[in-house]
Amino acid sequence: MTVSIFIFSLCGAMALGMPIAYSLLVCAVCLMAYMAGNGTLQAFDTQILAQRFVDGSDNFPLLAVPFFLLAGEFMNTGGLSKRIINLGIAWVGHWRGGLGYVAVVAAIIMASLSGSAIADTAAIAAIIIPMMKAAGYNLGRSAGLVAAGGIIAPVIPPSIGFIIFGVAANVSITKLFLAGIVPGVMMGVGIGIAWWFVAKKENVALTPKLPLVERLRITADSALAMFLPVIIIGGMKAGVFTPTEAAVVAAVYAFVVGIFIYREMKWNQVYGLFLAAGKTTAVVMFLVSAAMVSAWLITVANIPTEVAEMLDPFMGNKTLMMFMMMVLIVVVGTALDFAPTVMILTPVLMPVVLKAGIDPVYFGVLFIMNNAIGLITPPVGTVLNVVAGVAKITLDQSFKGVLPFLYAELIVLFLLVFVPEFVTVPLQWMLH
């Protein structure tokens, strides 16, 4: 009965058009009212809801979110993102389908800088899609490729998704960051292979190959941008700073490079960039706070135990259990956006994961990867909507274009389900 109230109150509120954060609060109120009625809670008390709401965002690791968002704003405005794309064009732009490979390479590198799928996708799409259109590439397919590359951002560190999951599940964010590197690169390789097959059908003029001297000049020009992921990942692996401190370092570094060295970011733009990052942070934190209220009531209502009982037939087989959970998340991800799915399912599934003896870091990587894939599946498909807007095409066109790359990323996801060593072995190597 409790599970039914949880599902119907949440889905009912969303069906009425409420934003996800408010739907979660409505769900919490319904659960509390039901539990107060059956004696699980002593009384219905709105002060507890308010207290849990405030406590939800009162968490030090969550400070990394605004700083990584700010770093992304500084990188896009300060010229770091542009130089990364120029680097890709210099070295692989002359291949058949070269601009597509540039999009993939840029997506992997950009993912290691900001951790925001929407920000990375918007930055890459604004530069590369007009170039692909002018060169004669299929516009829908080009938009689909950029969208598929953009969702690598939540998997390769620094990842805002890992920060949110780590806080909600009480899992080491540093371990999640390190464990996400290889799977994120595998996603890039997967869509690169898919593009290789697709590019054979593209009848476009090849970009002239740049002289070696010019390519080396562009590489040197992008060196400062490329050094940022080395600082972030190397600093965390060496224990120099925590993920939260890494976010501050990234923001300061991007600011200094953009305004004093590249000089593409102006002082009169800084306030607007802080404001943009602040607005996005407010949306994320309000959602996290609302979800923490629901998470507490989900635990009190013993919903994870009920879900565990439903999944009990698969409990003896870790691989089968992971497969079933990944299928569930794929389905949920088509209907919910990234952050709500993470916040709703984490308190429900984590007790099941621990009971089944599955490594929580390994689960977290696949969980976030799965939720990232949901960003390019309709009807929500936030990243898909972003590229459709930039390319000025319909959502249907962008969805048809993304299908080959969506299949490639799903293959990578389920490969990791059946071969967890792709996640666990590199993690152990990096931790020692």
Q: Any idea which of 32-41, 149-158, 278-287, 414-423 has the lowest mean pLDDT?
A: 32-41
CA distance 431 to 244: 19
Query: CA-CA distance, 99 to 382, in Å (whole number)?
Result: 23
pLDDT at residue 81 in the model:
86
For residue 308, pLDDT beyond 90: no
Asked if residue 96 has pLDDT above 90, the reply is: no
Higher pLDDT, 279 or 301: 279
pLDDT at 166: 94
- The pair of three-digit structure tokens given for residue 97, joined into one six-digit string: 């389908």
Give me the pLDDT at residue 6, please: 79
- pLDDT greater at residue 428 or residue 287: 428
Complete DSSP assignment for 297-325? HHHHTTHHHHHHHHTGGGTT-HHHHHHHH
Q: Which residue has the higher pLDDT, 310 or 190?
A: 190
CA-nearest of 335, 364, 333 to 350 is 364
Residue scoring higher pLDDT (14 or 432): 14
Residue 19 preceded by cis peptide, ω within 30: no
Q: Please check the confidence at residue 33 and state whether its pLDDT lies above 70.
A: yes
Please state, in angstroms and rounded to a whole number, the distance separating the CA atoms of residues 382 and 281.
Answer: 17
The pTM (predicted TM-score) of the whole model is: 0.88
HSE-CB of 118 using CA atoms within 13 angstroms: 17
Mean pLDDT of all residues in 137-146: 93
Q: Is the confidence at residue 43, as pLDDT, over 70?
A: no
**How does pLDDT run across 320-336, given as a tens digit for each residue?**
999 999 998 998 888 77
| C-alpha torsion angle, residues 250, 256, 257, 259 (rounded to 10) | 130
Kind and range of the H or E run holding 26: helix 20-38
pLDDT of 299: 77
- The Cα 120–Cα 110 span in angstroms is 6
CA distance 389 to 395: 9
pLDDT band at 383 (very low <50, low <70, confident <90, very high): very high
Tokens of 395: 């959502």
Contact predicate 318/357, CB 8 Å: yes
Contact 41, 35 (CB under 8 A): yes
CB atoms within 10 A of CB 223: 10
Q: Looking at residue 149, what is its pLDDT? A: 96
* Mean pLDDT, range 115-122, rounded to an integer: 84
Distances in Å between the alpha carbon of 207 and those of 86, 128, 133?
A: 13, 13, 13
Q: If we measure between CA atoms, which residue out of 26, 288, 233 comes closest to residue 115? A: 233
Can you give the pLDDT at residue 409?
97
Distance CA 386, CA 42 (A): 47
Evaluate if residue 50 carries a pLDDT over 80.
Answer: yes
Residue partners of 426: CB distance under 8 A and separation at least 6:
178, 179, 181, 182
Closest CA to 375 of 73, 161, 78: 161
Sequence-distant (6+) residues with CB within 8 A of 425 are: none
314 burial (CB, 10 Å; 0-12 / 13-18 / 19+) is middle
The residue-averaged pLDDT of 262-270 equals 95
Encode pLDDT of 156-200 as tens digits: 988 999 999 999 999 999 999 999 999 999 999 999 999 999 988
What secondary structure letter does DSSP report for 115?
Answer: -
Rounded (5°) CA angle 284-285-286: 95
Q: 113 or 117: which carries more pLDDT confidence?
A: 117
Q: Which of 363, 46, 40 is nearest to 176 (CA)?
A: 363
Q: Which residue has the tokens 């390190």?
A: 178
Q: 366-375 pLDDT, tens per residue? A: 999 999 999 9
Instruction: Let me know: does 88 contact 262? Beta carbons within 8 Å.
Output: no
| 204 in Cβ contact with 262 (< 8 Å) | no
Among candidates 99, 203, 178, which has minimal Cα distance to 427?
178
DSSP string across 197-246: HHHTT---PPPPPPPHHHHHHHHHHTHHHHHHHHHHHHHHHTTSS-HHHH
- Give the per-residue pLDDT at 430: 85
Residue 183's region, left for phi above 0, alpha for psi from -120 to 50, else beta, is alpha
The pLDDT tens digits for 212-224 are 999 999 999 999 9
Q: How confident is the model at residue 42 (pLDDT cuts 50, 70, 90)?
A: low
205 has a pLDDT exceeding 80: no
Domain chopping of the chain, boundaries: 61-286+310-431
